[in-house]
Each structure stands twice: as C-alpha cells, then as structure tokens.
Amino acid sequence: MNKLQGLSCMLLGGMFLLPLGCGHPKTAEEAAPPAIQQEAAAEAPAPAPGKEETENHIIATEDFSNLQLKDAAIPVYDKHTLAERRAGGLPTVLPELVPYREKKMAYLTFDDGPDETNTPAILDILQKEQVKATFYVLGKAASAYPHVLQRIFQEGHAIGNHSYDHDYDRLYASTGNYLAEMEETDELLCSLIGMRPLITRAPGGRMGHFNDAYAEAMVLNGYVEHDWNVSSADTAPNHPVAQDFIDNIDAQAVTDCAIILMHSSSGHEETVKALPGIIRILKERGYSFGVVTPMTPQPW
C-alpha cells in the first residue's frame, strides 16, 4: 500500500470517531498518526479566523489549570459545553484565581447585542482605536446576526453570556430556569464560534436578582458573573445624548479597575457617537484596556 492509499484509509477510519468538544466531531486529520498529521499540515492552508489555532484567545484546558493569566486583554473560552463536561467526568468548577491587578485597567463592556448596525459601528471604532472590549450577547440576537458575533470573536474581543432573550420573569423565577437559559445560550454560541464563554452578566445585574442559591449555582457550573462600577446610563428614560454618556464616564472612571456598562443593540446610536470621546478620556487618564475573563476583579 503506498502512502497516499494509507492516508486515505486513515481518513476514512477517522470518520467513525466520537464527537469531541462543543459537539463537533474529531476531524479525519486529527485521527491520523502524528507523522501523517505533520505531512498533511505542511500542505494545508492557514486556519480560518475563529478556529482554535488563532492567537486571539485562550482555550481552557480540561482541568482549567491554564486560566491564571498575565495578560488582561486576551479572552478566555472553553471548547466544552457544560453538558459535555458532565458527560465526560470533567470538572465544572473553576479553580481559585488571583484577580488581575497589575495595571490601571478599563473594561469597556457592551450588553444586549449583537445587532446589524450599532455593533458593527462599535467594532469599527474599536479597531481604529486599537482597543479590545467585552460583548455580553443575547442568544436570540446572536442567532439573528451570527456574522456579527463571529466578527466580534475573530477580532479578539471577549464574548460573554447575557441570557437568551433578557426575560426577567422567566430567568428569575428559579435558579433552574436561570441556568437552563444560560446553558441554552452557551450551546448556541458554541455552534457559532466553536466554544463557549466562561463569563456571564445577569440581565439587570445580580443586585436585586441573585440570592445565595444563584451565587452557588454559578460557582458549581463554572460561570463567573461581573456587574459594573461605571455606567454610561445609555438606557436612561430621559433620552440622553452622547455627551451625557461621556460626562457620566468622565465623572465615574476614577478607580484602578473600571468596568464600564454600555449597550450595543438597536436604539443605541448615541452610544456609538460617544465611544470615541469615552476612549479618549480613558487613555488620557492612563488606563489600559482589558477584556473580562474569569480573573478580572469584581467591580465592588
């Protein structure tokens, strides 16, 4: 049997391997012996953005032992869903992590997207300013605009789980409801970018919504929730404008760890207008820019 015939047999055999990670089957190339993998890799094209081989993010190891990072600007994801971790006997509880406190850090966070207009406009500004941010996305919105979600991921921003559709009545009826919706959103995000976030933000924030049972359930399932300590107030009912948001952040961003709440969904055009001014103020104040990960300090 020549080498080409042998490789064909290996590839056909690999088609029968079980799924590994986010429900994706192991590829035939992964099934081949190392020598054949190396030979095939030499002829293969470069991986497309969004695959595991990119340098834009860290993928958690099976035991989460690689999450104590020194770079606050690199997102962290898990290639396994919670269902896969449970089925495989893998841990779901994160190890104790030392919060990142090495620099004066601002975390720009955007809730409720993606949408087809404001989120891309925000991404354009972030790209121009060379700043990374965190997008807490809704599963319903990600399903409607998968190409925008994938752009967020490919450009090295962090993605967090913000529930499926922001329905307070359903989410806060019980911890079981809350976790089920977070897992549903995880599964969807995993189907679109190949991995799931470890970070979440509770719709409306955990204050006034979480009790001890919610907090314990989050820990047991490896979720790290972050609220905020600086608000743009871009959802205020009196129809504020961009300068109001800039002034709000100018007044509040005085701590070494500033987790800033904004929104990127439809109706937040003034947030888009305010963003360059917000970034300018933060840079002038000496902030570096991070993305939220399990090791980001809590805002309070």
- Residue numbers annotated as active site: 111, 263
Give every CB contact of residue 280 below 8 A, 6+ residues apart in sequence: none
Rounded CA separation 119/115 (Å): 6
Give every CB contact of residue 254 below 8 A, 6+ residues apart in sequence: none
> Closest Cα partner for 151 from 97, 198, 115?
115
Cα–chain center distance at 56:
12
Query: Residues 152, 146: contact at Cβ < 8 Å?
Result: no
> Closest Cα partner for 182 from 168, 162, 167?
162
Query: Residues 186, 200: contact at Cβ < 8 Å?
Result: no
Rounded CA separation 185/138 (Å): 8
